[in-house]
Structure 1
Amino acid sequence: MTFKQFKNKPIVKFTTNRYVIILAVFIVWMLFFDENSMLNHREFNKEINKLKSEQDYLNSEIKQDKELIDKLKNKEELEKFAREEYHMKKENEEIYLIEYDTLEKK
């Protein structure tokens, strides 16, 4: 096959067209090298998903804290919470803390 025969094939004519070459370079540039490339978009989407899951977790924590605050508006519940969490006591009262050994002895 001579160079003229190879040059006259339709696929060669199409791929050597300057507009096709410019379009191909443009597409490669936009996909990989541009500031807004697909690689950057993929990383940003991962970051967005991570932040959304963190937001869901924090919203659930806020909901639990609001429930606790509503619960602690009751004086008896507040006293119970203070005794359990902060080991507070009333006057003339003694508290004994019982801790269990959870380690296995060898």
Structure 2
Amino acid sequence: MKNLLDRVPLFFRNFYFLSTLFFVVWLAFVDSNDLFLQAQLSTKKAELEEAKRFYQDKILQVKNDQAALNNNPDLLEKMAREKYLMKKPNEDLFIVVREE
């Protein structure tokens, strides 16, 4: 045993090296916030930031559509007729469905 311990370089038997090695292994694998959890959280954060950008773009698009509809009554009527199938009381509505 003594002979085996003498083969290990002095640097690796140093108290500070062993303490640091233990600390790094503890943080990397044993701690409740280990490297694997940090990687998962980083991935989840990236997904949530992408979703945030998507919804911010959608909100901007809806605000632009709302502003356009408030300023243009012809566009408002067109959208109401096409999207919500609204009609005037004295009109008949025909829906044409194209088969693909």
Q: TM-score when scaled to structure 2?
A: 0.83
Q: In 1, distance between residues paired with 2:8 and 2:44?
A: 46
Residues 13-22 or 35-44, more deviating: 13-22
**How is 1:31-70 mapped onto 2 (pairs within 5 angstroms)?**
31-70=28-67
Partner of 1:8: helix, strand, or coil? helix
Q: In 2, distance between residues paired with 1:16 and 1:85?
A: 76
Q: Which residue of 2 aligns with 1:83?
A: 81
5+ unaligned residues in a row in structure 2: which ranges?
none
Matching residue's letter, 1:66:
K
5+ unaligned residues in a row in structure 1: which ranges?
none
Residue 98 (structure 1) aligned to one of 88, 96, 99: 96
Matching residue's letter, 1:101:
E
More helix by share: 2
Q: How many residues align?
A: 99
The percent identity for this pair of structures is 27
